[in-house]
Amino acid sequence: MLHPGHGARGVVSEVHPLGWSWAAYPRPVLTGPFEVEFDESTQILAVSGEVDESTAVALRDALDAATATYQRSVVVDLSSVGFLPSVGVGVLAKALQRATGAGHPIELRAEAGSIAQRVLQVCALPHSQG
């Protein structure tokens, strides 16, 4: 059963038969910990935290810096990413496109069952599980 919400953004809320409810949309922008570390010796760009509207630019910049020299293929490890909405998927898709066009593809990697792995699978972005 749907009832109009009168709370924080006037969103529509769904009321569960057991009595609890949750707002279906919109999800607030979270500012959780976000880190990107690039290990030049292994060419692994490790991303952790939440990729959202406030961190997508930092991810794009880190991808650009990691792939600037293309000494060898870069692996983007997303196993520790806890939130990956469309803005993050767009950054990753564009990086894949650019790298493939330059002849030095990047590899997206995420642990099986992780949030990132499920998002990459649903969005049909090529990735490995590891």
Please report which helix (H) or strand (E) contains residue 91, including its range: helix 86-101
Give pLDDT, residue 84. Answer: 96
The structural domains of the chain, ordered by start, are: 1-28 (no CATH), 34-129 (3.30.750.24)
| Predicted TM-score (pTM) of this structure | 0.74
> For residues 56 and 84, what is the distance between their CA atoms, to the nearest angstrom?
10
pLDDT digits (tens, 9 = 90+) for 1-57: 444 444 444 444 455 555 555 444 454 444 458 999 999 899 999 999 999 999 999
